[in-house]
Amino acid sequence: MSLANIKDSEVDIVIGVLHSDLTSFMNEWRPIFSRFHLIIVKDPDLKEELRIPEGFNIDVYSKSHIDRVVGSSSSIVFSGYSCRYFGFLVSRKKYIVSIDDDCIPAKDSKGFLIDAVAQHLANLATPATPFFFNTLYDPYREGADFVRGYPFSLRSGVTCALSCGLWLNLADLDAPTQALKPAQRNSRYVDAVMTIPSRAMMPISGINIAFDREAVGPALLPALKLAGEGNLRWETMEDIWSGMCVKVVCDHLGLGVKSGLPYVWRKDRGSAIESLKKEWEGVKLTEEIVPFFQQVRLPQTAATTEDCILEMATTVKQQLGPSDPVFTRAAEAMVEWVKLWKAVGSGSSPL
């Protein structure tokens, strides 16, 4: 397949904001963000006015915008970093890059600033190879290629719909691991991108990702809400659930997912011990969630991402719902999300 030519005008950068003063964050990202349109979504629980430096093309959304669009729905919750999903919902661009507000640009092993947006777009613009693993990783990167024995019939690849970046300094570890190893920091910069094989599940973190909104946008959704959930990344599971949903959709529709570059530098935040009290429910639920997504299969009649999510919601309710009401609520949120996505896309939902 041919390589895509992604224009700056086709990209939205979405930032979920939990802190009011964005001056330092925006200035750190200025060399990279300044040529793109930005969507900033303010956590509905954040009361202070945002402080944003000049020189950016930005639309800011707050609780009043969310209430206007979502209305009386109680299934969809945009609190904490889940506010980013509202940005995914209202965007009108083909591609979205999502970066959390506790991340700044990282430097590579030679000390050069990493353009995370450019690398994400390069990942999306080049094909993915989910049906046969290439031991030189991404064969479309400069200096790489397909290895001996790789079938020529599979070398054209498939459309890459999701690019999952990584983190230097504070890696996206779970609360138990971080509590056990409080001083552990990630300093390993691995210069590699790889396609995740078809039918292989992975924990997708929402901290540093990019995706083709037209291909899989409705699969990036805030559905799984823990009973004692907090706002910090350690205290949530919504992106893990969303990631498994989108991976199942990509496998079913014949799309690809890449992981690796780009890195961002993630700052320390919160207490792992305190977060562990809130995340423990999610740690236990993961043991049920992963086997479910590993075995779920969608019917061939599910031809769009919206179809896939609705089919998955039905299966979630039937197979996982009886074991815990959190899954029933997640299934209901998935159905509500598809309705909301269609309403906003058609212009029938007010902004």
Rounded to 5 degrees, φ, ψ at 6 are -90, 125
E strands in the chain: 11-17, 37-42, 57-61, 95-99, 103-105, 160-169, 193-195, 208-212, 256-266
Query: In terms of C-beta density within 10 A (0-12 exposed, 13-18 middle, 19 or more buried), how is residue 345 classed?
Result: middle
pTM here is 0.94
Q: In the prediction, which pLDDT does 281 show?
A: 73
Q: 195-253: per-residue pLDDT in tens?
A: 999 999 999 998 999 999 999 999 999 999 887 665 655 557 889 999 999 999 999 99
Q: In the prediction, which pLDDT does 3 show?
A: 63
Q: In the prediction, which pLDDT does 67 show?
A: 92
Identify the helix (H) or strand (E) that includes residue 20.
Answer: none
For residue 35, what are its two tokens?
């040529």
Q: Is the pLDDT of residue 264 over 90?
A: yes
Four-residue CA torsion sign, 223, 349, 6, 40: negative
Q: 11-60: per-residue pLDDT in tens?
A: 999 999 999 999 999 999 999 999 999 999 999 999 999 999 999 999 99
Cα–Cα nearest to 148, from 159, 132, 160 = 132
Q: Is the pLDDT of residue 318 over 90?
A: yes
pLDDT class of 126 with cuts at 50, 70, 90? very high
Instruction: Say how far apart CA 119 and CA 99 lie, in whole Å.
Output: 13
Go through the chain and tell me how many residues it has: 351
Q: In the prediction, which pLDDT does 245 show?
A: 98
Non-local (6+) Cβ contacts of 91 within 8 A are: 12, 14, 39, 213
Could you give the 3-state DSSP secondary structure of residue 66? helix
Q: In the prediction, which pLDDT does 75 show?
A: 80
